[in-house]
Amino acid sequence: MKLLISNIIAGLDASPGELRQQAAKRLQIKLENISDFKIVKQSIDARKKPGIRLVYSVSCQVDHSVRISGTKDVKILEEVEEEAILPGSKPVDGRPLIIGTGPAGLFCGLVLAQYGYRPIVLERGRQVEERSKAVEDYWKTGKLDTETNVQFGEGGAGTFSDGKLTTRINDRRCEKVLEEFCSFGAPEEMSYKAKPHIGTDNLKKVVANMRKEIERLGGTVLFNTKAAEVTIRNGRICGVVTCSGEAIETNVVVLAIGHSARDTFQMLYDRGVPFQQKPFSIGVRIEHPQELINYAQYGEASGHPALGAADYQLFLKGTQRTAYSFCMCPGGIVVASASEPQSIVTNGMSEFSRSRENANSALVVSVGPADFGTLHPLGGIEFQRKWERLAFAAGGSNNSAPVQRLEDFMDSRTGGLGSVRPSYTGETRCADINLCLPPYVTDCMKQAIPYFDRKLKGFGLKDALLTGVETRTSSPVRIPRNEQLECIGIEGLYPCGEGAGYAGGIVSAAVDGIKVAEQIVRTYRL
């Protein structure tokens, strides 16, 4: 029988052999009577410093005669039969078409291809290798390609990211996402670390391998191919016209376009697709020396290879707004992430090694429809744009990002750089970031920073560096959908992933892509 043994506590230097010994001891059996030993989960317990420990769950195979009743933290792992998804009866006119190759579009495409539906996947940006060059070029010269950038291109918004694969959603499909990532080349530890992170270096390989698999299974992936128009007749989707004028007829279209496809949102709105305003958050990226964060979290044990670069998560819930850290990138860099000219947008990225000098994180405050100053369903986009353009102006209108020491930000004055050097991928200019964000956001940040400093010693470092502005934390819109996951009022159109308002992050977007694919299989016949 297969067992799950949890709460195995080990020191930072414990080997798999020691874990196996602990498992045998817990079961009161000999080591050789354990087979198929596997680490299922590993987390860090840093509550007591010194004395940081690793906590494991492991699975193993043992003989049926082993008695486990009364043994603490041991249970039998039942084989769960996956419920088969049976194809539906509606015909697909043409082939199912997916717009976007972010995690939502890629996973939707992969699952449809695995079921034999031979999807067509359109991506406005370039393939990942060429995309990397375009992004590097933007970072070096400030010359933005509006179709291929940090938001657009193969792999979607997260390709240049830390690749944190954590999520707050509780869905059985999360496991499939991590398994598929590993099968396409992600390091095996993704499947068991409590806070897995794949890194941009691995992610680039993984998304290319996923695309090749979709193609191998009969799907088609077209790059440099923006969906420029959708054709909707009598409440039904009938097809898509690409940027080169080619009309693709189909009655199944998945909109996995991400949160930054503002032109596509506008086009869909103009064609009658319903939109709703949605809250999100805005703020800055904040950088600290990674060593400071390591020490605050791990004390004397910081630097131990089993711990890696430390992360943090902070929030302060006020009566009206919440200030919080978001998308933290240990040992990473701050990346220029705009998708429109004359705007500055920040985000964070790291490689699997997380070995850079600075830790960076978004420090953001929640905003919502009441702040947008309009009832227009796309009002949140205009709101984002306003602060992105102000940041561009504050940086000197030459693509430099405004940066400011934390102490200067607190005092609303422009000073110089301190000990924390900007890791930003483009040029920077010292400016007052208070001028690039609404006062209710900066006030909330100023209240939160001393509190965060009490929670994480050193967070309030005077030289910590702020880079403005972070505006693309999640989608500013939602496209409402019914129980069958179709857009309300438009048969065959499936809003999916983060841009449509159904996900926040790589894993949840991927899960939504799988959900939509499963629904398409249930509805349409092969």
Residues that bind ligand FAD (CB under 6 A): 99-105, 122-125, 150-153, 156-158, 160-164, 226-227, 256-258, 261, 264, 327, 335, 337, 347-349, 497-499, 503, 505-507, 509
Q: How far is the CB of 328 from ligand FAD (least distance, A)?
A: 9
Element (H, E) at 27: helix 16-27
> What stretches of 189-335 show up as alpha helix (H) in DSSP?
199-216, 262-270, 290-298
Question: Is the CB of residue 204 less than 8 Å from the CB of residue 155?
Answer: yes
User: Which residue in 37, 70, 39, 64 sits closest to 196, CA to CA?
Assistant: 39
Q: How many residues does the chain have?
A: 526
Q: Which residue carries 């195995």 as its tokens?
A: 8
- If the CB atoms of residues 26 and 259 are measured against ligand FAD, the closer one turns out to be 259
The nearer residue to ligand FAD, 5 or 469, going by C-beta atoms, is 469
User: Closer to ligand FAD at the Cβ: 328 or 449?
Assistant: 328
Query: What is the spatial distance between Cα 464 and Cα 288, in angstroms, rounded to a whole number?
Result: 5
Q: What's the min distance (Å) between Cβ of 101 and ligand FAD?
A: 5
Amino acid at 366: S
Smallest gap from residue 449 Cβ to ligand FAD (A):
23
Instruction: Give me the least distance between CB of 479 and ligand FAD, in Å please.
Output: 12
Cβ distance to ligand FAD smaller for residue 226 or 515: 226
Closer CB to ligand FAD, 351 or 432, in the complex: 351
Residue 55 C-beta: closest distance to ligand FAD, Å: 23
Residue 392 C-beta: closest distance to ligand FAD, Å: 18
Q: Residue 287: which H helix or E strand, with range?
A: strand 280-289
For residues 325 and 301, the answer to whether their CB atoms sit within 8 Å is no
For residue 187, the minimal CB distance to ligand FAD (Å) is 15
Could you tell me which of 254, 335, 266, 298 has the C-alpha nearest to residue 502? Answer: 254
**Which one, 161 or 366, has the nearer CB to ligand FAD?**
161
Closest CA to 526 of 85, 83, 82: 85
Shortest Å, Cβ 313 to ligand FAD: 13
| Minimum CB–partner distance for residue 47 and ligand FAD (Å) | 25
Say if strands 333-336 and 358-367 run parallel, antiparallel, or are unpaired. unpaired
Q: How far is the CB of 30 from ligand FAD (least distance, A)?
A: 43
Which region holds residue 118: left if phi is over 0, alpha if psi is between -120 and 50, else beta? left
Name residue 407's amino acid.
E
Pick 18 or 201: Cβ nearer ligand FAD? 201
Q: Nearest approach, Cβ of 492 to ligand FAD (angstroms)? A: 17
Q: Which residues have C-beta within 8 Å of that of residue 89, sequence separation ≥ 6?
A: 525
CB 265 → ligand FAD: shortest distance, Å? Answer: 9
Q: Which is nearer to ligand FAD, 257 or 430 (CB)?
A: 257
Provide the minimum distance between the beta carbon of 402 and ligand FAD in the complex, in angstroms, as a whole number.
18
Helices (H) and strands (E) in the chain, counts: 12, 23
Contacts of 144 (CB under 8 A, 6+ apart): 138, 338, 339, 340, 341
Using CB atoms within 10 A of its CB, is residue 189 exposed (0-12), middle (13-18) or buried (19+)? middle
Beta-carbon contacts of 98 under 8 Å, excluding residues fewer than 6 positions away, are: 105, 108, 109, 112, 119, 120, 121, 122, 253, 254, 256
Between 430 and 503, whose beta carbon lies closer to ligand FAD? 503
Q: Which C-beta is closer to ligand FAD: that of 62 or that of 514? A: 514
C-alpha dihedral over 51, 355, 211, 490, to 10 degrees? 70
DSSP string, 389-438: HHHHHHTTSSSPEEEEEHHHHHTT------SS----SS-EEE--GGGGS-
C-beta closer to ligand FAD: residue 105 or 308: 105
Which residue number, 34 or 314, has a Cβ lying nearer to ligand FAD? 314
Torsion of CA 469, 204, 501, 320, to 10 degrees: -30
Cβ closest to ligand FAD, residue 414 vs residue 474: 474
- The answer to whether the beta carbons of residues 513 and 104 sit under 8 Å apart is yes
